[in-house]
Amino acid sequence: MNQLHDHSYFKMTRGMCPRCRSIVDAVIFQREGSVFQKNRCPDCDITTETMIAEDSEWYFRNADFSVKSKSCAGTQTDHVRGCPHDCGLCPWHEGGPNLPVFSITNACDLRCPICFTYNREDKIYYMTREEMQETVDFLLETRSEYDLINITGGEPTLHPDLEGLLEIAGKPGFGRITINSNGLRISRDDNLVEMLARHGAYVILSFDTLDPETSVKIHGRDIVAHKLRALDRMARANIGVTLLHVMIRGVNDHESWKIIELATRYSNVRSVTIQNMTFTGQGGQQFQPRLRLTLDMAARILEESSDSKIRREHFFPLPSAHPLCYNVAYFFRNRSSLTSFTDLISVDEIMDLIGDNYIIHPDEKFQERFNQAIAEAWSRDSHPELLAFLKTLLCRMYPSDGSITPFERQKIGEESILTVYLHAHMDEENFDLSRIIHCSDLVPVDGERLIPACAYNLFYRMKDEKFWMDESSSVQGDDNE
């Protein structure tokens, strides 16, 4: 490292100019125990600086972690202009498709001040069955099977033919279909809830706050009661749920542990994803306060607000993603208490169980490792109540007569396991090409290309007339009339 005053420079990358949106040189450096990314645009003559890790020791432990990638059936585009302008995937891309994410509508019944994407309001778009079929066929040509696909919007539950799209997507090759939702329609529409349950869809329910005033700041209106009602309805229908919580520094970060506590009270809530506030898109670009929140900062806040029921060391990089994009922690839940997997087996062993997936498959390796952990803990006479719970759980998951399917085993396990993801999206200030090339959250476009999610949000969605209206063109047109 080259020492310069109070800075330690140790890595170069390529970032983004927030003004002209060009790809520019960037440097990663340490200062006063934290790690920052500094972008320099020679054309605009501006320098931007943003924190990417609160704790430099955490960064050094995680940043150079080796990413395990799924294989992908070749590339779709050539390397011409350079990353991220050749997405499709191009030959530079190193992350295979783990989570396809695509929008089926631009319609939404909220105008959230934190929205980090773009949805034009003047021309409503609904994906057709033909477009869904094209997307599904393309994905299965790219890879033969997926654990997950994610349908988003807009607000997907507003699509008038959602069931028809789910029928097309519900074919062999997709382990589960997840649908993002703000919960408003779910909170009042029994037919929708019944339909989602019938198709086995999982719902990713945005749940950012339990406070009405904070809800107004985040969503533009108080929708807390709607969220709780939607959660109760899905629990009664036994719909698998992920709570998606946008943690906003100085706004709702003190509530994040409360959201996890809420999740522990619902056996149908399989996971909680805590996502950092992203200062881009039609809402997030102007949102205040503009305080950066990093993955390690989120883990620290959870530890402090939970009285160490969740600790920083419970989290580790998801093996198939860039370590600055995803961290994960797994907990057994017995009633409302949480016990980290790391209390029983090592992080390396957990990562081996995950492999190049986003979720753990409870196969024979899982059974063998936790039976061994139970035996070792029993010999030390430690955690007798927990061990009795785990023995009962494993007996249910792995009956001696082998009478359940892998899907049933997964479902039993998920009812007693809570997964907590920390997920960091990128915006114009912390965009980093080294993260993009490892991205496994990919957006299928036009049945022929796969685009990394953050590259899509920052560079490609605004080129798609289904989601973006050029305001300057609209204004110019008005002037000419």
Instruction: Estimate the crossing angle of helix 347-354 against helix 364-379, to 10 degrees.
Output: 160
Token representation of residue 225: 């009661």
Interval 54-70 mean pLDDT: 83
What is the DSSP code string of 121-182? SSS--B--HHHHHHHHHHHHHH-S-EEEEEEESS-GGG-TTHHHHHHHH-STTEEEEEEEE-
Structural element, H or E, at residue 73: none
Token representation of residue 481: 């009339």
Asked whether the beta carbons of 155 and 107 are under 8 A apart, the reply is yes
Structural element, H or E, at residue 444: strand 441-445
Asked if the structure places residue 467 within a domain, the reply is no
The reported pLDDT for the residue numbered 96 is 81
The reported pLDDT for the residue numbered 180 is 99
Q: Is the pLDDT of residue 73 over 90?
A: no
**How far apart are the C-alpha atoms of 322 and 365, rounded to whole Å?**
25
Asked if the structure places residue 450 within a domain, the reply is no
- Structural domain span for residue 9: 1-64
Q: Are residues 54 and 181 in the same domain?
A: no
Going by their DSSP bridges, the two strands 7-16 and 417-423 should be labelled as: unpaired
Q: Are residues 24 and 114 in the same domain?
A: no
**How far apart are the C-alpha atoms of 471 and 121, rounded to whole Å?**
12
Q: Are residues 267 and 409 in the same domain?
A: yes
Tokens 């950012």 -> residue: 208
Count of structural domains within the chain? 2
**How far apart are the C-alpha atoms of 414 and 391, rounded to whole Å?**
15
Structural element, H or E, at residue 16: strand 7-16
The reported pLDDT for the residue numbered 473 is 36
Confidence class for position 416, pLDDT limits 50, 70, 90: very high
The reported pLDDT for the residue numbered 342 is 96
Interval 148-174 mean pLDDT: 96
DSSP-derived secondary structure letter, 291? -
How many percent of the chain have pLDDT more than 70? 94
**How far apart are the C-alpha atoms of 422 and 234, rounded to whole Å?**
24
Q: Is the pLDDT of residue 468 over 90?
A: no
| Global confidence as pTM | 0.93
Q: Is the pLDDT of residue 331 over 60?
A: yes
Residue 134 belongs to domain with CATH number: 3.20.20.70
**How far apart are the C-alpha atoms of 202 and 180, rounded to whole Å?**
9
Mean pLDDT, rounded, of the chain: 91
Asked if the structure places residue 308 within a domain, the reply is yes
Asked whether the beta carbons of 232 and 274 are under 8 A apart, the reply is no
The reported pLDDT for the residue numbered 282 is 86
Interval 75-88 mean pLDDT: 82
Interval 16-29 mean pLDDT: 95
Residues 6+ positions from 53 with CB-CB distance below 8 Å? 34, 35, 59, 63, 294, 295, 296, 324
* Higher-scoring residue by pLDDT: 184, 477: 184
* Higher-scoring residue by pLDDT: 378, 25: 25
Asked if the structure places residue 147 within a domain, the reply is yes
Most confident of 116-125, 216-225, 348-357: 216-225
**How far apart are the C-alpha atoms of 198 and 88, rounded to whole Å?**
34
Asked if the structure places residue 440 within a domain, the reply is no
Interval 254-275 mean pLDDT: 97
Q: Are residues 55 and 116 in the same domain?
A: no
Interval 7-34 mean pLDDT: 92
The reported pLDDT for the residue numbered 305 is 97
The reported pLDDT for the residue numbered 475 is 30
Q: Is the pLDDT of residue 102 over 70?
A: yes
Interval 290-316 mean pLDDT: 97
The reported pLDDT for the residue numbered 6 is 66
Asked whether the beta carbons of 417 and 329 are under 8 A apart, the reply is no
